[in-house]
Structure 1
Amino acid sequence: MPSGLVALLDDVAVIARAAAASMDDVAAGVAKAGTKAAGVVIDDAAVTPGYVTGFTPDRELPIIWKITKGSLFNKLVILLPVALLLSAFLPMAITPILMAGGLYLAFEGAEKVLEKLGGEKHGETLDDPVSDVATFEKTRVAGAIRTDLILSAEIMAIALSQVEDSSFIARAVALAVVGVLITIGVYGAVALIVKMDDVGLHLTKKPGASAQALGRGLLKAMPIVLKVLGSVGTVAMLWVGGGIILHGLEELGLPAPAHVAHSVEHALAEATGPLGPVFGWLGYAVASAVVGLVLGAVVAVVVHLVAKARGKGH
C-alpha cells in the first residue's frame, strides 16, 4: 500500500511538472506573440476612433463597448478555431486568406483617400444629415467590427507563427490570451482617447488654475488629435494591407515586390546612420502603403463601376 501511494504521488508530481512546463510555454508564447503583433495593434488603435467621431458623448462608450464585444467574438469565436484548424489541417490556405483580407483593408484605405481627394462619397457620412441615427450607428459599428476582423486575423496569424511549435493546448491558450489582452488594450486606449474632451471639460470646472488650463488644453487638442488619428488610421489600412500582400506574395514564391520594399528599407537604414532602424522601418511602411494604395484604388474603381452599372449605390 505505501508503495502504491508513493507511485501515485510520483504520477501526480509528473503531471504537475508537465502542467507547469505547459504554462511556461503559454507565457512565453503570449510574450512573443504580443511583441510581434504590436505594429498591427497600433494600427487597430488608430483606425477605431474614426468610427466613433461625431457621435454625441453619451453614445461614444456604448459604441466602443459594442465594437469591443464584436472584436472578442471575432478573435475567440471565429478566428481562434479557424486558425487552429487551418494550422493543423490546411496551413497553405492561411496566406491566401490573409492576402484577401489585406486587399480588403487596402480597398477601405484607398476609398478614404479618393474621397478626401474630392472623389464621390459613398453612403451616409457624418458630414451629411443623418436620417436614422440608430441605423447609422449600427452601420458604423458593423463597419468597425468588419475592419477589426481583418486586423484581428493578422494579429492572430502573427501570434500563431510565434507558437506553432507548441502543443495544441498551449497554442490555443496563448492565442486566446493574446486576443483578450490586445482587445482590452486597444479598446481601452480608444475609450480614453475619445473621452479626453469630456475629461477636459470636467477639468475646466475645477477651482484650480492649473486644472482649468489643462482642461482647456485638452479641449483645444482633441479635434486635432482625432483628425490626426483619422489620417493615421487611413494610412494604417494602406500600410497593413500592402504589407500583408507583399509578405503573402513572398510566401507564394513571388518575392520581387517585397524585395523592392526591403531594398528601400535597407537603403534608408544605411543612409541615416544611428536613426537607421527608424527610417528603415518607415521606408518599408511607406512602400507597403504605396502598394496598398495602388491595389486598393484599382479595387475601389472596379467596385464602384460595377455598382453603377448595376444601378446601385455603394
Structure 2
Amino acid sequence: MSGGLVALLDDIATLAKVTASSIDDVAANAVKASSKAVGVVIDDTAVTPQYVSGLSPSRELPIIGKIARGSLINKLFIILPIALLLTWLAPHFLPFLLVVGGAYLCFEGGEKVLEKLGWLPGHHEDHEEAGATSAEELEKSIVSSATRTDLILSAEIMLVSMAGLSNEHGVMRVAVLIGVAFFMTFFVYGLVALLVKADDVGLRLARGALEPEDNRPGPVDNIGRTIVRVMPHVFSVIGVVGTVAMLWVGGHLVIANLAEVGVPVFHHVLEAAEHAVSGAGGFVTWLVETLLSGVFGVILGAVIAWLVVGASALVRRVRARA
C-alpha cells in the first residue's frame, strides 16, 4: 500500500513539474508573440486616452474598464475563433490576412503622416453624438466607439502574434493566443489608466503641497506641476512612436507575406540591402531592414490613403447627383 502511495505521489510531482513547465512555455511564448505586435500596442495606447478626454475624472477609470472588457471579448470570442477556424480550414489563407492586416497598419500610419504634413484633411470623432442626450448614453456611445476601434487593433495584435507561432500547433497555440489576449489587454489598458490619471495625481500633488506659512509652492508642488505640464508631451511622443512602429511593422508584414504568396520582389530587395551591409554588424543590418520596411510602409500607406480619399469623394459626388 505504501509503495503504491509513494508511486502516486511521484506521479503527481512529475505531473506538477510538467504542468509548470507547460505554463512557463505558454507564458514565454505569449510574451514573445506579443512583442511582434509592438506597433499596434503603442498605437492602441496612444489612441484610447482620446476617448476619455474632457470627461469627469471620476468616470475615466470605469470607462477604461468597460473598454478593456470589450477588448477582451473582441480577442477571445470574435477574433480568436475566426482566426483559428480559418487556419484550420484554410491554413494557406493566413498570409493573405497578414498582407491585408499589414496594409491596414500602413494605411493608418500613412494617413497620420499625410495629415501631419497637411496633405490630407484631419478627422476627429466627437463624443457628442446625436443620440447621446444623457451622461449614461454618452458613456455607452464612447465605449461602443472605442470597442469598434479596438476590434481592428485587436485583430492586428492577434494576427501578428499568430504569425509568430508558426511552429506551434494545437493546444499550445490556443493557450499562447489566450495568454496574448489577456496580457495585451491588461498591459495596454493598465498603461492607459496610469497615463490618464497621471495628470490628476500631479494636480493633487500641486494642490496639496502648498506651504501655508508663505503660500509658496514647495518641492512636491513643483513635481505635481511638472507632471501636469509634461503629460501632453508624453502623449504626443507616444503617438509619434506608435505611428513609426505601425509603418515599420506593417511594411515588414506586407513584404514578408507577399513573398509567401508568390510576390517576392520586395523581399528580394530587402535581402539584397541586408546582404550589402551585413559586414557592418547585426544592429546595422536590423536598422537597414527597419528603415526600408518603414519607407515601404509610408509609400504603401500614402497610396492607400489617397485612394480612400479619392473613392470617398467619388461616392459623395455620385450621391449628390442621385
Tell me by how many angstroms 1:31 deviates: 0.6
| Maintained 8 Å contact 1:105/1:238 | yes
| Maintained 8 Å contact 2:29/2:176 | no
Any idea what the Cα deviations from partners look like across 1:4-31, whole Å, max 9, x if unmatched? x94x986886687457435523422431
Identify which range, 290-299 or 203-212, moves more after superposition.
290-299
* 1:32 alignment partner AA: N
Match of 1:147 among 136, 143, 152: 152
Match of 2:220 in 1: 211
TM-score, with normalisation over the residues of structure 2?
A: 0.77
Gaps of 5+ in 2: 133-137, 211-217
| Maintained 8 Å contact 1:235/1:289 | no
1:246 aligns with 2:255: yes
Any idea what the Cα deviations from partners look like across 1:136-186, whole Å, max 9, x if unmatched? 62564144313323332234314533533xxx2333222212221221112
Distance 2:180 2:147 in 1: 23
Identify which range, 225-234 or 209-218, moves more after superposition.
225-234
Match of 1:137 in 2: 142
Match of 2:120 in 1: 119
Corresponding residue SS for 1:62 = helix
RMSD: 3.5
Match of 2:32 among 30, 35, 56: 35
Tell me the percent identity: 33
* 1:172 alignment partner AA: V
Distance 2:26 2:244 in 1: 30
Give the number of aligned pairs.
303
TM-score, with normalisation over the residues of structure 1?
A: 0.78
Displacement over 6 Å in runs of 4+: none
Tell me by how many angstroms 1:302 deviates: 4.5
Match of 1:50 in 2: 47
* 1:99 alignment partner AA: V
Distance 2:271 2:196 in 1: 36
Distance 2:265 2:314 in 1: 31
Match of 1:234 in 2: 243
Match of 1:224 among 219, 224, 233: 233
Distance 1:130 1:265 in 2: 50
| Maintained 8 Å contact 2:273/2:288 | yes
Gaps of 5+ in 1: none
Distance 1:115 1:180 in 2: 33
Corresponding residue SS for 1:311 = helix
Tell me by how many angstroms 1:249 deviates: 0.4
| Maintained 8 Å contact 1:34/1:178 | yes
| Maintained 8 Å contact 1:269/1:276 | yes
1:104–1:279 Cα change, 3 Å: closer
* 2:154 alignment partner AA: L
1:288–1:193 Cα change, 3 Å: farther
Match of 2:104 in 1: 104
Distance 1:98 1:88 in 2: 16
Distance 2:111 2:278 in 1: 31
Any idea what the Cα deviations from partners look like across 1:183-203, whole Å, max 9, x if unmatched? 111211121112211111111
Distance 2:67 2:296 in 1: 27
